[in-house]
């Protein structure tokens, strides 16, 4: 009888303490992660959060949500999300929400002065040399065709 009363008391203490433990776990701050790359696109169709896609040095495109609290800076100046043009080099500090599996930007820092206007205009074209002419093929003398060598005679078997 004592054992059942004791286990009931322990169970009631554990149940009472469980919401406190869960509340403490829920208040943990998420780690801030960093991605460096260039802006691929900015989708502002959703009024609650814009979707920024950043391509890293390996070519992977990472979608990151920009909220109203996201700080966007170019040098020391604050800029709007609409100023993030395609091709700009950026560093994005973000948190990853494991419940929604979404990345939420905390800070966006533009690291390049300006986006390239056009890839073709940014790199000067090298002059194209005309293709070299192929040397003329030697004329084949039809009468000089050599017959293939005869097969060796069968060797007598011993």
Over residues 31-68, the pLDDT tens digits come to 899 999 999 999 988 888 899 999 999 999 999 999 99
User: CA–CA separation, 49 vs 65, rounded Å?
Assistant: 6
Looking at residue 20, its pLDDT comes to: 47
pLDDT of 77 > 80? The answer is: yes
Is 42 exposed, middle or buried, given 0-12, 13-18 or 19+ CB atoms closer than 10 A?
middle
pLDDT for 97-112, tens place per residue?
999 999 999 999 999 7
Q: What is the pTM of this model?
A: 0.55
User: CA–CA separation, 123 vs 102, rounded Å?
Assistant: 36
Question: Is CATH 2.40.50.140 the classification given to domain 33-115?
Answer: yes
Do 71 and 32 touch, CB atoms closer than 8 A? no
Query: Could you please report the per-residue DSSP string of 64-105?
Result: EEE-TT-EEEETTEE--GGG--TT-EEEEEEEEETTTTEEEE
Mean pLDDT across the stretch 108-119? 69
């Amino acid at each position: 009888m004592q054992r059942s009363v004791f286990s009931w008391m322990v169970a009631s203490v554990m149940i009472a303490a469980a919401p406190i433990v869960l509340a403490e776990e829920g208040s943990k701050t998420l780690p801030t992660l960093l991605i460096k790359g260039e802006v691929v696109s900015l989708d502002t169709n959703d009024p609650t959060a814009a979707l920024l896609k950043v391509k890293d040095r390996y070519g992977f495109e990472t979608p990151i949500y920009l909220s109203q609290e996201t700080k966007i800076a170019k040098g020391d100046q604050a800029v709007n999300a609409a100023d993030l043009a395609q091709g700009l080099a950026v560093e994005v500090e973000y948190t990853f929400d494991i419940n929604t599996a979404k990345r939420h930007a905390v800070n966006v820092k533009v690291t390049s002065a300006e986006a390239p206007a056009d890839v073709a205009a940014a790199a000067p074209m090298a002059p194209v040399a005309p293709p070299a002419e192929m040397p003329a093929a030697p004329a084949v003398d039809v009468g000089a065709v050599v017959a293939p060598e005869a097969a060796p005679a069968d060797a007598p078997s011993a």
